[in-house]
């Protein structure tokens, strides 16, 4: 059931149930992070492997500190600059957080969401919320309550509706190694913004063989229809015989009906493109296309995370 009743959501969560919640990045499938039976249920509902750890959501830095064993000065600077917001920090965890949440890793991923509904909900709870994105494992993350309902509606008692997500990409995940910042997942906070506070940093490429970020599988954001990346006019010629859809940044292509084309931002506004990306992929995926033709966006700011998701969506084709 979809609704806007924060009290009801809180009551269900206190009873150990799962509730889908809005955040500014994407919707999360939330449950009491300290309750092992609840956390197990999160993995089951998502069909997610247990080696892929979950992000722990807290209302503020005080609660984050209470659950982390140490909080290095650099982490604190970044937390003060960007939390609440689309940033997740990997920090040593206390024993309060069950092994199940972190797949046994000594670090936990912590996030303070900024969305007012998530804030109001977390403020009412005396436990943190474990919440992966509220989609079946390997599918596109949901950016509206309706997206969640389409795939998980039968499996969870309540979807708390907070409207369409304003960032639209998952949080940027960073960790710390020998006093340097390491980016584990590009996301809704631009790398440039983090560098302005923390100085130059390392990028850790995502892969399924990376034990520190085991869940970041290459094909993670794949829609059902294969997605091919390239120059749109060339691709349109190459695939002229197929029933294709177009995912463009600023401008569509001639010769393909408008209803099979999505233009992410005619004005070239990267925040708008990021916000609309996942809904666009879902829309195209629902059209029964043979193939989705897409182009990369400029590799700067949020564009880096948009391109990361597009490359992962495209990787499915070469993977199967
Ligand atoms: O914006 C977001 O981050 C959303 C909202 C709901 O908060 N959540 C989200 O969660 O995207 P999820 O589970 O779909 O992606 C979290 C990623 C996973 O790929 C996981 O491998 C990584 O974070 N992760 C979580 N805990 C970790 C840990 N202790 N060490 C390394 N990676 C971790
Ligand atoms: Mg996810």
Chain segment 36-70, per-residue pLDDT in tens: 999 999 999 999 999 999 999 999 999 999 999 99
CATH topology of domain 227-319: Rossmann fold (3.40.50)
- If you search the block for the tokens 């998502």, which residue do you land on? 46
Distance 62 CA to ligand 1 centre (A): 21
DSSP class of 176: E
Answer whether 297's CB lies under 8 Å from 264's CB: yes
Amino acid 209: pLDDT: 38
Q: What is the pTM of this model?
A: 0.94
Cα of 190 from ligand 1 centre, angstroms: 17
What pLDDT sits at residue 201? 86
pLDDT of residue 218: 52
Q: How far is the CA of 53 from the centre of ligand 1 (A)?
A: 7
Q: 227: part of which helix (H) or strand (E)?
A: strand 227-229
Cis peptide before 279 (omega within 30 of 0): no
Atom number, ligand 1, closest to the C-alpha of residue 170 = 1
Contact 46, 105 (CB under 8 A): no
Query: What is the position in ligand 1's atom list of the atom closest to the CA of 188?
Result: 1
Give, in words, the CATH class of 2-203.
alpha beta
pLDDT-flagged residues of the chain (< 50): 207-215, 317-320
pLDDT score of 202: 83
Which ligand does the CA of 206 lie closest to? 1
Q: Cα(206)–Cα(204) distance, rounded to whole angstroms?
A: 6
pLDDT of residue 88: 98
pLDDT score, position 222: 65
The token pair at 299 is: 């590799």
- Residue 108 burial (CB count, 10 A): 28
Q: 88 C-alpha to center of ligand 1: Å? A: 8
The answer to whether residues 300 and 268 touch, using CB atoms and an 8 Å cutoff, is: no
What are the residue ranges spanned by the domains of the chain? 2-203, 227-319
Show the ligand 1 pocket: residues with CB < 6 angstroms.
23, 25-26, 28, 52-55, 88, 90, 102, 105, 107-109, 111, 131-133, 170-171, 173, 184, 212-216
pLDDT computed for residue 228 by the predictor: 96
Atom of ligand 1 nearest to the CA of 25: 1
234 vs 244: CA distance, rounded Å? 13
């Amino acid at each position: 059931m979809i609704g806007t009743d924060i009290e009801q959501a809180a009551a269900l969560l206190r009873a150990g149930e799962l509730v889908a919640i809005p955040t500014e990045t994407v919707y999360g499938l939330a449950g009491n992070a300290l309750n092992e039976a609840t956390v197990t249920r999160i993995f089951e509902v998502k069909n997610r492997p247990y080696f892929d750890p979950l992000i722990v959501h807290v209302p503020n830095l005080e609660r984050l500190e209470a659950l982390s064993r140490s909080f290095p000065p650099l982490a604190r600077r970044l937390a003060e600059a960007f939390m609440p917001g689309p940033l997740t920090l990997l920090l040593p965890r206390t024993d309060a957080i069950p092994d199940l949440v972190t797949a046994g890793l000594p670090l936990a991923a912590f996030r303070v969401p900024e969305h007012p509904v998530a804030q109001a909900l977390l403020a009412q709870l005396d436990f943190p919320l474990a919440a992966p994105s509220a989609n079946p494992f390997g599918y596109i993350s949901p950016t509206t309550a309706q997206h969640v309902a389409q795939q998980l509606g039968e499996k969870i008692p309540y979807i708390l509706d907070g409207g369409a997500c304003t960032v639209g990409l998952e949080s940027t995940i960073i960790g710390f190694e020998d006093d340097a910042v390491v980016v584990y997942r590009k996301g809704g906070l631009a790398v440039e913004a983090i560098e302005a506070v923390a100085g130059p940093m390392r990028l850790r490429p995502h892969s399924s063989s990376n034990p520190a970020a085991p869940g970041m599988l290459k094909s993670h954001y794949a829609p059902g229809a294969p997605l091919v990346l390239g120059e749109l006019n060339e691709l349109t010629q190459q695939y002229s015989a197929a029933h294709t859809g177009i995912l463009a940044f600023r401008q569509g292509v001639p010769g393909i009906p408008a209803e099979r084309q999505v233009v992410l931002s005619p004005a070239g506004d990267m925040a708008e493109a990021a916000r609309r990306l996942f809904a666009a992929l879902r829309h195209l995926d629902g059209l029964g296309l043979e193939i989705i033709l897409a182009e990369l966006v400029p590799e700067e700011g949020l564009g880096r995370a948009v391109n990361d998701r597009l490359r992962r969506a495209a990787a499915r084709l070469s993977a199967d």
